[in-house]
Amino acid sequence: MKIMSVLTLKNVTYKYEGARKTVLKSVDAEFKAGKVYTIVGKSGAGKSTLLSLIAGLGVSSSGEILYNGTDLKRIDRDDYRAKSIGVVFQSFNLLINATAIENIILSLNISGSREKDKKAYAYALLEKVGIDRETAERKILKLSGGEQQRVGIARALSHDPDIVIADEPTGNLDRDTAAEVLKILTSLAHEDGKCVIIVTHSRNVTTVADEILGINDYLQLFRLRRFAFRICPGQMSGSVVVDCTQSAINS
């Protein structure tokens, strides 16, 4: 049985309004349900810009981004963000003076959730990502970084999106906690059938991917072999950049 693409990029190019510099050029890609994708590339290569376009926060200068076959330019992108896509941030982006459970309930209210018992549903979401009821009642300021990221994932799932995108989700976490977060994200794809897209600089994160994509020096997206990385000179061991001249193959 052929798995249909939930998200398709066709010849997507992007440049900032009024600027000459192109940020992304002629990007083509397909993202399918039930798979984990990682996107790697040098700092400033356009990875976060690509996620922003996928999330409907911006509009491509040319080309199409299709969600279930419909161009994002032709739909209500606010509604798309509220119902069809969930975002996980490196810096968590939670309301720090609210409790974990309050953060989830607020997200449910914003998305227009029709859940009759939002609090029970929020507890269930938090439990799914490893947050028990006692921890759920604590304010975000009282939680560890790993716990905050788990809450961030639960919030991204609150409206049951088809797509989950994560921008450096393990960037502020230690190795063991990062591994736990990656396990959750992987299960969302392989067990729950969601399309999970992760931007990362970490070689360790790419090990969970079903497909690894890189942005090369020509601002184009390419599919990479698993060995197609080199350590970034002068950076921490484990950081990666794309060796565009030797390892990229057209997707």
* Cα distance between residue 184 and residue 169, in whole Å: 11
- Over the stretch 210-228, which tens digit does the pLDDT of each residue have? 999 998 876 678 787 664 5
The DSSP-derived string for 110-177 is HTT---SSHHHHHHHHHHHTT--HHHHTSBGGGS-HHHHHHHHHHHHHTT--SEEEEESTTTTS-HHH
pLDDT at 218: 65
| Higher per-residue pLDDT: 234 or 64 | 64
* Cα distance between residue 248 and residue 76, in whole Å: 35
- Over the stretch 28-84, which tens digit does the pLDDT of each residue have? 999 999 999 999 988 788 898 999 999 999 999 999 999 999 999 999 999 999 999
| Burial class of 36 by CB neighbour count within 10 A (0 to 12, 13 to 18, 19+) | buried
Q: The whole model's pTM is what?
A: 0.88
pLDDT at 59: 94
SS3 assignment, position 103:
helix
Q: Identify whether the C-beta of residue 32 lies closer than 8 Å to the C-beta of residue 197.
A: no
Average pLDDT in the 82-106 region? Answer: 96
